[in-house]
Amino acid sequence: MSDSNEVKEVKATPLVNALRTIEFWRRASGVYAAYKGAQMKAAALRMRGWDDARLKEEHWRPHHDWAGKEFYTIAVDLRGFYLKLGQFFAARAEFVPEPICRRLSLLHDQVPPMPPAQARKVIEEQLGAPLEDVFEEIDLEKPLGSASIAQVHKARLRRPPGQKPAPRRSEDGKGAPLGLRLSLRAQPSWRTVGGFGGGGDAGAQANRASDSSGASTSGRPAAEEGMNSGRAAAAAAAAMASRDAPADGIVAVKVQYPNALPTMMLDLGSIRRWAGFLQKTEINFDMLSAVDELASQVRLEFDFQREARIMDTVAGHLRGLRRTVEIPRSVPGLVTERLLVMTFLGGEQITRLKQHVAGLSALKRKAAAKLILQRVSEAYGEMMLTEGLFQADAHPGNILVMPGGRMGLLDFGQSKQLPERERLAFAALIAELARGRRGPGAARPEKVLARLSALGLRFERQDARLATRMAFGMFDTDASLRVDPFAADSPIKAMGIEHFPPDVFFVLRVMQLLRGLAGGMGVNDFSSARQWRPIAERALRRSHYHAD
């Protein structure tokens, strides 16, 4: 009898594709129609004397609760790109209603994973070897995380014969027992322990040559490329004997779901049509260019060899932040197009921190939240402004708070290399926004409009003050200025964005995720533009860039 969570290799026939598309449109249209009906009912209730507070609590809150459940079930039932979309909106607390955000936030770490037998099968196909030849232990029962494209398991690499086992690390890194679910070859069974630290080796070499991993390069499964039991086992042994794996051998194993790519691309077609509808009826924004850029990037997410190269490269770029930020590193020889073995980072997802800080005073909670935000934001500022290569999926599920307060950044599948012209134009915009919104030295509206134009944005109106308000809402994290793209008075609607450059879409996505993170943590006075000003000015000086 098959497991109900099994991710099936369904043949993407025209009939299957049509039924999936119809199901999305049926359910999404139902939610949209219900909101239009709720808007009309709210107008009628307002005419009967209901004030905003009563409407919010008695009319809108129950409706948002219902809609949140509907959006969540659509994402979980259909999976594919709808999961990604749900995760994105879960992090947009500044304009997505709180009940919807709360429900969609479950998508960060409560997505039903593949069952253990299927996960084992896919991993062994990619390794071309039994798990026992490569890993001493691996937890197939309880993945570290599962999302739209892949799920991640905790494991320990097999040591070379004669090598002594390293001390097992605990949450505080002091050597208490560490646990995994599944023991191989009669190894001692370990108790599962959540939130432990010390998986990554900060001294491991970054920027490993991309062709030295011994991984598949043609896109065929590793077994077809010649990665067999001996080769995979040798790669694990070599990593353990060198600094390419942590001393304790603890790694994370990311494995791709079967049939995920065609499903994702089908979903993007539906989203593109939905975006076109919203662009005409609800928001005056070039949404189609954004979806097209997203589609081109999503294809790249399915190449884990590319992800490994980017992850290792960015780790090298952020060496200067190693005291505050850590990034996993790939294990050479254990990377294929559908499998990625990397160093493990232990810690707590930001989404799970509330219970750990509940006993602190409000002042200390806010200070802790602001420190976390500053460290995450600094890493993204360095990535985008200094080299232009950045992880573009900054939702809370991909950010860990590690022992000692360091931040761990996960999942480099959705990454972007910003072209030089756009990188420097963005740096010039940040340098201007860093002047702030008020006071004698505030950002100059005509300069902001010029910087946006240099970045490639094209507008229906050339209103510098509206453009400045829009720029702060789109490219800064100060939550004291709310810019809801669906609101009647939205500067985005008023300006009318005729063209939004595809290369800048992922910059906007990161900014909005950081903005949502700040709002969700209750930090409403943090400006990434002010923090990034020295980084932006340094980038401009090094390139001899003149904005005027």
- Dump pLDDT digits (tens) for 506-516: 899 899 889 88
Closest by alpha carbon to 287, among 268, 308, 306, 261? Answer: 268
**What pLDDT was estimated at residue 89?**
79
CA pair distance 337, 215, nearest whole angstrom = 8
Q: What is the mean pLDDT of residues 156-164?
A: 82
Backbone angles phi, psi at 303, to 5 degrees: -100, 95
Query: To which H or E segment does residue 153 belong?
Result: strand 150-157
Q: Which of 380, 358, 385, 382 is nearest to 369 (CA)?
A: 358
- Mean pLDDT, rounded, for 56-83: 91
Looking at the structure, tell me whether residues 377 and 495 fall in a common domain: yes
* Confidence check: pLDDT of 482 > 90: no
Q: Mean per-residue pLDDT for 447-451? A: 97
Helix (H) or strand (E) holding 251: strand 250-256
Taking Cα atoms as reference points, which of 116, 17, 102 lies closest to residue 67?
A: 102
Whether the per-residue pLDDT at 247 is higher than 50: the answer is yes
pLDDT category of residue 207 using cuts at 50, 70 and 90: very low
Distance CA 417, CA 248 (A): 34
In a domain, 315, yes or no: no
SS3 state of residue 46:
helix
In whole angstroms, what is the distance from residue 321 CA to residue 292 CA?
A: 34
Task: Give the DSSP H or E segment for 182.
Answer: strand 182-183
Tell me, yes or no, whether 130 and 51 share the same domain. no
Share of the chain above pLDDT 90, in %: 51
**Residue 493 contacts residue 375 (beta carbons within 8 Å):** no
Tokens of 83: 């999961």
**What is d(CA 118, CA 14) in angstroms, rounded to the nearest whole number?**
26
Are 357 and 455 found together in one domain? yes
pLDDT at 447 over 70: yes
Count how many domains the chain has.
3
Backbone angles phi, psi at 7, to 5 degrees: -90, 105
Inside any domain, residue 274: no
pLDDT of residue 140: 96
Do 42 and 188 lie in one domain? The reply is no
480 against 155, higher pLDDT: 155
Higher pLDDT, 279 or 153: 153
pLDDT-wise least confident of 313-317, 319-323, 356-360, 485-489: 485-489
Residue 222 has pLDDT above 60, yes or no: no
No. of H helices and E strands in the chain? 19, 15
Q: Average pLDDT for residues 322-338, to the nearest whole number? A: 96
Same domain, 397 and 508: yes
Instruction: Please determine, for residue 208, whether its predicted confidence score (pLDDT) is greater than 60.
Output: no
The answer to whether the beta carbons of residues 471 and 507 sit under 8 Å apart is no
Residue 411 belongs to a domain: no
* Entry pTM: 0.78
Report if residue 11 sits inside a domain: yes
Distance CA 239, CA 234 (A): 8
Q: 260 and 159 in contact (C-beta within 8 Å)?
A: no
In which band, very low, low, confident or very high, does the pLDDT at 85 lie, cut at 50, 70 and 90? Answer: confident
More confident residue, 190 or 389: 389
Average pLDDT over residues 98-126: 87
For residue 312, which of 332, 336, 339, 333 has the smallest C-alpha distance?
A: 332
For residues 225 and 88, state if they share a domain.
Answer: no
**Is 1 among the domain residues?**
yes
- Please give the pLDDT value at position 200: 34
- Say whether both 72 and 207 belong to one domain: no
Question: How does pLDDT run across 12-35, given as a tens digit for each residue?
Answer: 678 888 888 899 999 999 999 999
What are residue 40's phi and psi, to 5 degrees? -65, -40
Tens-place pLDDT, residues 248-270: 999 999 999 988 888 888 888 88
- Shared domain check, 76 and 139: no
* Residue that terminates a domain, selected from 343, 367, 383: 343
464 and 482 in one domain? yes
Which residue do the tokens 């850590």 mark?
326
Range of the structural domain that residue 465 is part of: 348-401+418-543
Instruction: Measure CA 100 to chain center.
Output: 19
Per-residue pLDDT averaged across 61-80, rounded? Answer: 92
The packing angle between helices 464-475 and 502-520, to 10°, is: 70
Report yes or no: 295 and 268 within 8 Å, Cβ to Cβ: yes
Structure tokens at 50: 């209901």
Residue 179 has pLDDT above 90, yes or no: no
Q: Kindly state whether residues 209 and 161 are assigned to the same domain.
A: yes
**Which phi and psi (to 5°) does residue 515 adopt?**
-65, -45
Per-residue pLDDT band for 7 (boundaries 50, 70, 90) equals: low
Higher-confidence residue of 485 and 386: namely 386
Of residues 170 and 202, more confidently modeled: 170
Q: What is the pLDDT of residue 127?
A: 95
Instruction: With CA atoms as reference, report the closest residue to 413 among 517, 264, 266.
Output: 264
391 and 498 belong to one structural domain: yes
pLDDT surpasses 90 at 448: yes
Q: Are residues 160 and 86 in the same domain?
A: no
- 308 in a domain, yes or no? no
496 belongs to a structural domain: yes
Residue 79 has pLDDT above 90, yes or no: no
- pLDDT tens by residue, 304-328: 999 999 999 999 999 999 999 999 9
User: Is 495 inside any structural domain?
Assistant: yes
**Residue 38 pLDDT:** 94
Average pLDDT over residues 468-493: 82
